[in-house]
Amino acid sequence: MATRLRVNPAGTAAMLRSPRMVQAVKDRGERVADIARDISPVRTGRYKGINDTLGPGGFHVDSGVVGGKARARVSNPTPYAAYLEFGTRYMTARRILGRAAEMVRSS
Amino acid sequence: MTYISVEQMLAGPTGWLTVQTGVRSGTRVPSDLIEIINDGDQYIQIRPYAGSDRTITLDEVALDVNVFSGPDESDPAITADVAALNLAERIRWLMRTELAGYVASGGVVSRVETIQRPCPRDWDDDQDIGRYQAAYRVTIHSS
């Protein structure tokens, strides 16, 4: 017995940009942001998003369709967020977002 | 059975990346990094930051590869950043084309993916050290 499978490229493309796909990707982005909040170090609370008296901070999720595909982006506007993520001569990389993304990926 | 330490497999005097590139590597940034760079050498730091083993014996490790370099004194066009980028891209090519299939004691590298391409990163504004960082996911099948 043989089975024939025909791929519908137009249907696949429509699925990748569908509202349900955007919502699914956004949900995963929210999970990344939740984990990142949980494992964030706290000194002033700005990076974690629990103290905005020093300026905007916290983790934000933007979602939509980019290049025909659903996409979610998790970001943190704190000026020193990149230093925490990737480290400098004076600070070991904490990899908050990287670890959160890997945790969601492997769950 | 134990899982292989991917950082020990890649870094150190006999590590895979050291042998492949001829550049000193380790899991930490040495305290004499400035002297290493001033001597005209480069340095590679390999640092795992996440991972899991959803399938037993298959260890997936997410790791950062940081490259530090000074300028090429013999060529003004090769600034510290350019030299670091060149080494980082050479490492990316080696990781993606040569590392999969490498047999280490206790296992074999079954897959290498790029999580993030080499990107410039801040290190210290007061020093002429170029730094590029990339992230990879290495899957090792332990035996």
CA–CA gap between residue A63 and residue A21 (Å, rounded): 10
Residue in A83, A73, A76 with CA at minimum distance from that of residue A50:
A76
Minimum-distance CB partner of A95 among B49, B60, B127: B49
Confidence of residue B128 (pLDDT cuts 50, 70, 90): confident
CA closest to B115 among chain A residues: A98
Confidence of residue A44 (pLDDT cuts 50, 70, 90): very high
pLDDT at B126 over 80: no
Mean pLDDT over residues B14-28, rounded? 96
This model of the complex carries an ipTM of: 0.88
pLDDT at B24 over 80: yes
Q: Residue B87: its pLDDT value, please?
A: 98
Whether B113 contacts B18, CB under 8 Å: no
CA closest to A84 among chain B residues: B122
pLDDT at A2 over 80: yes
CA–CA gap between residue A74 and residue A19 (Å, rounded): 19
pLDDT at B127 over 80: no
Radius of gyration of chain A (CA): 18
By a Cβ cutoff of 8 Å, what residues of chain A touch chain B?
Answer: 82-83, 86-90, 93, 95, 98-99, 102-103, 106
Q: Residue B54: its pLDDT value, please?
A: 87
Task: Write out pLDDT tens, residues B86-123.
Answer: 999 999 999 999 999 999 888 999 999 999 999 999 99
Inter-chain CB proximity A83 and B127 less than 8 Å: no
B100, two tokens: 């999969």
Residues of chain B above pLDDT 90, percent:
85
